[in-house]
């Protein structure tokens, strides 16, 4: 029997100091998702090391999770949630930032390597497969000089400006409507 339940995890770092940073685009996407669909807000789920929300969409049970383990240990929360809800990696969708994709673009992929993303590497290590869906949201808006002189880790922890936040809203909307998250 096919399990249509989905676990959608947005990656980011917990805490006020990380709000609106490029690395937290996964958290931001889930917050947008909840607001646009008028869903119940996130609640703490300490056993899963995450904040959680859940709802039904076209008879599919959808769990939304924001790991509270910090980006580089996202696999712990992911593994706990998969085990708790008795789901397979095939039911998993991860939303995260991608420095290799230009800001304003996104890609959906499956069965790809971590490509230097420590949150994804942690998930792959904890669930022992890379065969899950990823919504990779581009964050690279750097100038040539910034690419040369600034560490990627410093850039991803930088905050979005208002113009970028407006563009992100359009990207999030496009992902929700055009990609039909209920079909992923």
Question: Up-side HSE of residue 128: CA atoms within 13 Å toward CB?
Answer: 1
Catalytic residues: 23
Q: Which residues pair with 50 in a beta bridge?
A: 45, 67
Contacts of 1 (CB under 8 A, 6+ apart): none
> Hey, how many other C-beta atoms are within 10 angstroms of the C-beta on 17?
9
Q: How far apart are CA 66 and CA 69, in angstroms?
A: 9
* Tokens matching residue 143: 């100038």
CA 61 to CA 54: how far, in whole Å?
7
């Amino acid at each position: 029997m096919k399990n249509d339940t989905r676990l959608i995890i947005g990656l980011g770092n917990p805490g006020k100091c990380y709000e609106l940073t490029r690395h937290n685009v996964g958290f931001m996407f889930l917050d947008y998702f909840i607001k646009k669909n008028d869903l119940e807000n996130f609640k703490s789920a300490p056993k899963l090391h995450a904040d959680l929300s859940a709802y039904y969409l076209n008879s599919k049970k959808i769990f939304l999770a924001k790991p509270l383990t910090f980006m580089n240990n996202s696999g712990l929360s992911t593994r706990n949630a998969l085990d708790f809800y008795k789901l397979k990696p095939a039911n998993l969708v991860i939303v995260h930032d991608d420095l290799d994709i230009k800001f304003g673009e996104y890609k959906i992929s499956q069965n790809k390597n971590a490509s230097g993303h420590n949150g994804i590497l942690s998930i792959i290590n904890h669930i022992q497969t890379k065969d899950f869906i990823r919504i990779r949201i581009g964050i690279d808006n750097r100038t040539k000089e910034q690419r040369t002189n600034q560490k990627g880790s410093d850039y991803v922890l930088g905050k979005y400006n208002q113009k970028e936040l407006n563009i992100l809203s359009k990207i999030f909307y496009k992902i929700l409507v055009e990609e039909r998250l209920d079909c992923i």
